[in-house]
Amino acid sequence: MQRFENSDPAKRAAGYAAVDEHVVDGTCIGLGTGSTAYWAIERVGQRIAAGERICAVATSSETQELCRRLHIPLVELLAEPIAVAIDGADEVAPDWSLTKGGGGALFREKAVALCAKRYVVVVTKSKLVEALGTFPLPVEIVPYAMAYVRREIRRRSGDLPIVRREIEGQPFVTDNGNWIFDCHFGRIDDPPRLDATLREILGVVATGLFFNIASEVLVGSADGRVLSLTASAPN
């Protein structure tokens, strides 16, 4: 994982605030993946260096690498109760439904989120949307079933753009050995329904739709202030 030295200071503010407000000495936490979660990980490393006892469950190989560099002890999922998980998001709707998976770690991020007692989302204002769907929805799939999954998504949702994620012309491979489709559904007004529709397709491992999971959403600003959002009722 690269160091985000010149990243938006709003991300740093949100990541640091999440750790300072929610992480307690002597607990196990979940640590997300990406440019905002990076700052939460860095803050945890600082607190461990100062003598606190904190262990973590990482949501990706990149996060594992950073944790090792910062001497953050790692444990397997549910080896210890997860008091809080902290992660970013690609989109946050008013009801705190999320689109995640831009970094490709959606399956592990969702597993950690579901296992945590609290799930704190850290973002900047640019991630706040009226409804999900501006960001293409990541869908993790089994490579063998690629053609079938593509056909079944289109059969259920129409002839929408479905792009296999690639790096330098080769399929992007998740930490689970799977591929990702980035699906352009447009406005998503019913995330639970779309998630259920996609997951019933053989070969779909997980979607980047997170709903009824977040405990708090912290929004960082460039001036260092952090706002805690209030969730609205789903439409």
The catalytic residues are: 109
Dihedral of the CA atoms 106, 111, 116, 121 (nearest 10)? Answer: 10
Q: For residue 221, report the phi and psi dihedrals to the nearest 5 degrees.
A: -120, 160
Give 119's Cβ-side CA count (13 Å radius): 20
The residue among 188, 183, 182 whose CA lies nearest residue 131 is 188
Beta 162-164 vs 179-183: how paired, if at all? antiparallel
DSSP one-letter code for 79: S
CA–CA separation, 24 and 48 (whole Å): 11
Neighbours of 36 (CB within 10 A): 29
- First-to-final CA distance of the chain: 38
DSSP string, 121-187: EEEEGGGB-SSB-SSPEEEEE-GGGHHHHHHHHHHHH-S--EEE-EETTEE---TTS-EEEEE----
